[in-house]
Structures are given as C-alpha cells and as structure tokens.
Amino acid sequence: MKRVFQEFLRTAIGKQMKSPRWRICSQVAVNQMDHASGALYVKFFFKEADKQVALEMVNLLKNAFKEMLEEYDWLHESTRQKALKKLDEMLALIGYPEFIRRTKDLDEYYKLLHIYPNDTFVQIITEMSRWSVENSYRKLVEPVQRTEFNAAASIVNAFYSPLKNAIVFPAAILQAPFFDRTFPKAMNFGNIGSVIGHEMIHGFDDRGSQFDYQGNLHDWWDSKTKANFKERKNCFMEEYNNFTVPGTDLFINGMLTLSENIADNGGIKVAFRAYRNYIKQIGHEEKRLPGLEHLDMDQIFFLSSAQMWCGHSRPAALIRHILTGQHAPLRFRVNGVVVNQPDFIKAFKCPSNSAMNAITKCSLW
C-alpha cells in the first residue's frame, strides 16, 4: 500500500522521496487533534503581545478598506451602506480559541475521544475519524457560532469564513517571516498586512459577496452595482487567462482562480492604504533599512509582500496546480498583482506602457 501511494505522489506531483514516518505522524496529529496540537504550539511559541499587535493591524486595515468603500463611484449608495455594514460586522479571530489554554476545558472538548497506549496506528486513526465525524454531525443541529475558532493554531495559513463573516489567523502565521512585532511597519504591512487584506476582500469577492453581514446566503446587491461588479471581475478573468506559465505551454485559468486573484489584488491595495495611514498618524516616514538605503519604505512594503510568494515547484506539481489550483502560480501572485497597482508603479517609477505599467489595468476593490 505504501509503495502504491508513493507511486501516486510521484506521478501526481513529482514527489520522489517518501516522507519520514515522524512527519506523517505529526501531520496526522495536527490534522486530527487540531486544538490539542494548537495548545502545545501556543504554550511554547506564541506571545500574547503578538496577538494584540495583529488586532491593531486588522483595525487599521478595516479603516483603510472603509475609506476605499466610501470612495468607489461604481457602488450604488444602498449597496455601499450594506458593504460598510458587512465590513463593520466582520469578526477577526486571531491566534487561538481561548479554551485551549485551560487544561480542564481542553479535556472536556476531547472527552468522547478514546485513545489508549496500546492502540495501533490504524486504531488511533479510526477512532479519531469517528470522533471527528460525530463532532461534525452534532454541529449540524446547532446554530452557527460566529466566534468559534475552527482552525488549528499550529498551522501556517489564514481563512475567511462566509458563514461567520470572519477572518481567521492562526498563531503560527503570526511569526517571522510573515510577521514580527519588532519588524519595521512597512515589512509587517507588506507581509501579514497583505494577507489580512486578502482574507478581508474574500468577503466581497465573487463568492463571499453572496453572503450578508451575518453570514446568511442573501443577495444584497442592487442590479446596477452587480453589473459594474461583473464588468470589473471579468477584467481580472481575461487578464489572468492571458498569462502563460513559463516552462509550460499552459495558460492560467482566469475563472478557476478568480476569487483568489480578486483577493490578491484588493488585499495588497488595502494593506498599502493602511500603511500610508499609519505613516500619517506618526507624522514621519520610517527609517530606511541598513544596507538597503537605496530603497524607500514604500518599496520595502512591496518587496516584503512579494517575498511571501518565493518558492520553487516541481514540473509535475506546477502543471497540476495550473490545471486544478484555485490560486495562480506563485510568480503571478506577485507580478500579476503589482501591474494593477498604481501605488507600486509610483513607488518604483515604472515607465508608461512598460511591462509593469501596462495601459490596461484591472481594479475592483
């Protein structure tokens, strides 16, 4: 069975070596016992001060996005007010659920999970799966708890929940290189700020926009604004459809990646607005970085944002990603975004009608 599975991974994503057993076991533990593993992570690696700084950044980004919503001339006033209401009611779940720091409450959460020292790996997995399914079934007959933190604190990821109208940032993503409260603000806003903005925009993309401020599936858009939205999202779809991925003869699927492309483009715009608002508040520019004095801090913002997407993919994995992934390949999460950003073009003084300053630009949020 192991050989068959490894052959599948080799064919599907180009993975040549099988993972060591300890890695497989740790991944299972994190996936199946998310809050237990999260409790350990928070205990040893997360600082409460980081949570407070992250919450402050969320508020700065919400204020920046509010300013932008008030400026858009393509929004009808009735829809604008509903969008502002949705933004105002959007929850920010940061770090971890509070109960995982209390041993008694954590034990209560897992009280129906029965694992014993002599259990085999298969028995443990079976029991975890049973408990997880039954836990999910119980929630089907319960009202949605908007403040419930469903993600493992130990995973490096971020989410938007349309049913809760909530953005979720586990503790593990609030670490370097994405975030450090001692970093210059340009770096933090460029890194985690763009991620916060990205998740915030998901509440207003082609999917999230179908839910109201309480997470109900409800059409709250007037017909004129809806038509304007469609025209602007189609611009992104056509733009990304024309991106060819180097090393392949494949084009990006602009429809499949639409929601993420909207969030990438809007998120960095909101983050930069929030950063410039912060600079206005303190009344002066940040000091330039030692060794990088030739770059101003606006440029550092965009470089920090781009740094998140540095990576290398095996050819097989890249092709699979292009054909099935909801995110654009890494390079297009950078270059495909900044070509639409007037703030980037101004920061780097890109010549008119150059590769990074095309005549046609897409803009939604």
DSSP letter, residue 191: I
- Rg, Å, the chain Cα set: 22
Judge if the upstream peptide bond of residue 184 is cis by omega within 30 degrees of 0: no
Which are the contacts of 203, defined by CB distance < 8 A and separation ≥ 6?
A: 86, 87, 90, 160, 162, 165, 167, 209, 211
**Catalytic residue list:** 199, 264
Please state, as a whole number, how many other Cβ atoms lie within 10 Å of the Cβ of residue 259. Answer: 21
Q: Please compute, for residue 220, the number of CA atoms within 13 A of its CA located in the half-sphere on the CB side.
A: 24
**Residue 208 and residue 202 in contact, taking contact as beta carbons nearer than 8 Å:** yes
Please state, as a whole number, how many other Cβ atoms lie within 10 Å of the Cβ of residue 180. Answer: 16
* Phi-psi group of 359: left, alpha or beta (phi > 0 → left; psi -120 to 50 → alpha; rest → beta): alpha
**Residue 266 and residue 343 in contact, taking contact as beta carbons nearer than 8 Å:** no
Phi, psi of 279 (to 5 degrees): -60, -40
Chain-centroid distance of CA 239 in Å reads 22
Which are the contacts of 311, defined by CB distance < 8 A and separation ≥ 6?
A: 330
The CA distances from residue 101 to 106, 250, 357, in Å, are 8, 48, 50
